[in-house]
């Protein structure tokens, strides 16, 4: 059963609660937003779970009625405050925790222990309340997580989420104002192409892949399992595999990046909005050698 968070906050106020001490958690964002938008209860953002409990303890001693919100992995971080402050001085207040799940391979390793141990609090007879969320959650706190989540979306593995635009061919979604002759390029789905993209003949794109709005992909370019952000020009000699190209950075899924400007790779990948410059003789020679045009 879902909780109407606005009604829940009104009920908290009716019960006399005055402060919400929060270590932000995306699972509780609706409740947090309701409290932020309700002037009758004060929202206090806290840097850690121990800090949240310490502030709540001071408020309780001062005659206020606080509540603490944290994610389940933070319960252990609050342990010292509980054992050295709250328990000895019999300071009590409600703590609302989100239950973060975990499966093998997830990068958020801090959730692993309490993902299985938290239910034991229920079995022990402790008061325990929860609510379900109507969406599938993926952490994208790291480059690897972000990359894998985009790949999953394109492959249809995220419930309720699909690429924007219209499906111009099976597994290929596109925005408006395209300059693409699909008969002259090779696409292996799934692929998303944003609006106002220009793709020249002779390009090959192997999905899952994203071509952001305003990109220019020149003839001969090869793109595989990559995310090309908005307004990127990819030259015809580019061979991009499992890369994120964003602004002046080319990044692999592990977060290792190259500064395109510092490396002087702008003649391979660049900002599509820049005025096109003429290639130097050295750059032209390199391109010709790579493309096998030399005698």
pLDDT, tens digit (0-9, with 9 covering 90-100), for 61-78: 999 999 999 887 777 778
**Prior bond to 208 cis, omega within 30?**
yes
The pTM score is 0.55
pLDDT of residue 189: 94
pLDDT of residue 41: 86
Q: What is the pLDDT of residues 106-157, one digit of tens each?
A: 555 555 556 566 667 667 766 655 555 566 667 677 888 889 889 999 998 8
CATH number of the CATH domain containing 44:
3.40.50.970
- Report if residue 179 sits inside a domain: yes
pLDDT of residue 293: 47
pLDDT of residue 12: 86
Residue 130 and residue 88 share a domain: yes
Rg (CA), the chain: 26
User: Which domain-ending residue is among 71, 104, 134?
Assistant: 134
**Pair 142, 255: CB distance under 8 Å:** yes
User: Which domain-ending residue is among 81, 109, 134?
Assistant: 134
- Report if residue 41 sits inside a domain: yes
CATH number of the CATH domain containing 167:
2.160.10
Residue 126 and residue 169 share a domain: no
- Report if residue 295 sits inside a domain: no
pLDDT of residue 295: 46
- Report if residue 90 sits inside a domain: yes
For residue 136, with 0-12 CB atoms within 10 Å meaning exposed, 13-18 middle and 19 or more buried, which class applies? exposed
Token reading at 271: 């900002």
Question: Looking at the 3D structure of the chain, how many domains does it have?
Answer: 2
- Report if residue 139 sits inside a domain: no
pLDDT of residue 60: 94
Structural domain boundaries, residue 16: 5-134
User: Which domain-ending residue is among 81, 100, 134?
Assistant: 134
- Report if residue 9 sits inside a domain: yes
For residue 268, with 0-12 CB atoms within 10 Å meaning exposed, 13-18 middle and 19 or more buried, which class applies? buried
Walking along the chain (295 residues) 10 residues at a time, the average pLDDT comes out as 73 90 80 80 89 94 92 78 89 83 57 63 64 65 85 87 88 93 95 95 95 93 94 90 87 82 74 70 66 50
Residue 12 and residue 106 share a domain: yes
Residue 165 and residue 125 share a domain: no
Residue 178 and residue 206 share a domain: yes
In the chain, which residue ranges form alpha helices assigned H by DSSP? 5-14, 29-36, 49-61, 79-81, 112-117, 119-123, 143-154, 281-290
């Amino acid at each position: 059963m879902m909780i109407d968070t606005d009604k829940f906050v009104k009920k908290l106020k009716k019960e006399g609660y005055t402060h919400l001490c929060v270590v932000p958690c995306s699972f509780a964002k609706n409740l947090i937003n309701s409290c932020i938008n309700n002037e009758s209860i004060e929202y206090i953002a806290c840097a850690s779970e121990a800090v949240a409990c310490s502030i709540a303890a001071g408020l309780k001693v001062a005659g206020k009625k606080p509540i603490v919100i944290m994610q389940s992995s933070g319960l252990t971080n609050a342990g010292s405050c509980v054992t050295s402050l709250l328990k000895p001085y019999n300071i009590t207040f409600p703590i609302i925790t989100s239950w973060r799940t975990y499966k093998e391979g997830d990068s958020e390793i801090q959730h692993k222990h309490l993902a299985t141990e938290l239910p034991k609090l229920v079995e022990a007879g402790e008061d325990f309340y929860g609510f379900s969320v109507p969406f599938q959650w993926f952490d994208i706190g790291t480059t690897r997580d972000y990359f894998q989540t985009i790949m999953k979306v394109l492959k249809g593995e995220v419930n309720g989420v699909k690429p924007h635009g219209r499906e111009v061919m099976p597994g290929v979604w596109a925005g408006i104002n395209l300059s693409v002759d699909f008969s002259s390029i090779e696409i292996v789905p799934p692929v998303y192409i944003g609006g106002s993209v220009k793709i020249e003949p002779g390009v090959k794109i192997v999905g899952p892949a994203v071509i952001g709005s305003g990109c220019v992909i020149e003839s001969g370019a090869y793109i595989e399992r990559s995310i090309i952000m908005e307004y990127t020009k990819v030259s015809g000699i580019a061979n991009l595999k499992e890369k994120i190209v964003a602004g002046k950075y080319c990044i692999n899924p592990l977060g290792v990046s190259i500064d395109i400007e510092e490396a002087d790779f702008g003649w391979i990948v660049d900002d599509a909005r820049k005025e096109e410059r003429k290639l130097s003789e050295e750059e032209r020679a390199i391109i010709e050698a790579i493309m096998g045009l030399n005698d």
